[in-house]
Copies of this chain bind each other. A is one copy, B any other.
Amino acid sequence: MTTQRKSSAGAARRSESSRRAILTAAFELVQEVGYAKLSVEGIAARAGVGKQTIYRWWPSKGAVLFDAFLMLSEGADGEAALPDTGDLEADLKTVLRATVAELNDPRYGEPMRALSTEITHDPELAAVYAERLDGPMKEIKKERLRSAQRAGQLAADLDLDLAVEMLWGPLQNRWLQRGGPLTPEYADRLVETALNGLRPRR
């Protein structure tokens, strides 16, 4: 019995280490070759496992890449709140500038482009993404907005889901559609314009 237990613990450890090797390989490889040329064969070779090991756990390269994102985001669990200095505009600028820097970094940008286009064409993956990655991120953003709303800095009847889309949507869309450069100044202007609105304020 003891031996048996030991050996399945060992198998679980080996499994977990293969899983991590596969996810890391997928994330690295997509940066190097792009999503179109990413293949399960390539991931297997980089991770030092057989192709069938991957297919045992994931149905497609898109699914592997998605889990690679989940692994990364779980690693970042400790810092699951936006800055809250009391100055909403300054805090949002800090956050959107960080988003700009991340999207401009090919180590993150390329895999994220791949994930985004997979979601565009795959409603099922989109649902899992919404539930496991985007949903929790959105909740973190809304929490910061809720705090500002309590402080009277945001309209009392504001729809916070829509508010998140007003701040991050144009940025994400400019990035995906390559509509213009993503700069820190762009992040600042976007925050100011979303907060103030297009109509004049006296």
Contact = CB atoms under 8 A, between A and B. Distances in A.
Interface string A144-187: 01000000111110110111011111111110111110000000
Contacts of A132: none
Nearest to A125: B178
- Stoichiometry, copies per complex: 2
Nearest to A158: B198
B194 A197 contact: yes
A176 B119 CA distance: 8
Contacts of A195: 197-199
A155 B120 contact: no
A31 interface: no
A123 B180 CA distance: 11
What's the dominant secondary structure at chain A's contact region? helix
Interface string A190-202: 1001111111110
Interface residues of A toward B: which range? Answer: 35 or more
Given A169-B170, A170-B165, A189-B162, A153 B199 contact: yes
Interface string A55-81: 000000000000000000000000000
Given A117-B121, A196-B199, A177 B166 contact: no
A178 B120 CA distance: 7
A130 B194 CA distance: 24
Interface of A: 34-36, 113, 116-117, 119-121, 123, 126-127, 130, 134, 145, 152-156, 158-159, 161-163, 165-174, 176-180, 189-190, 193-201
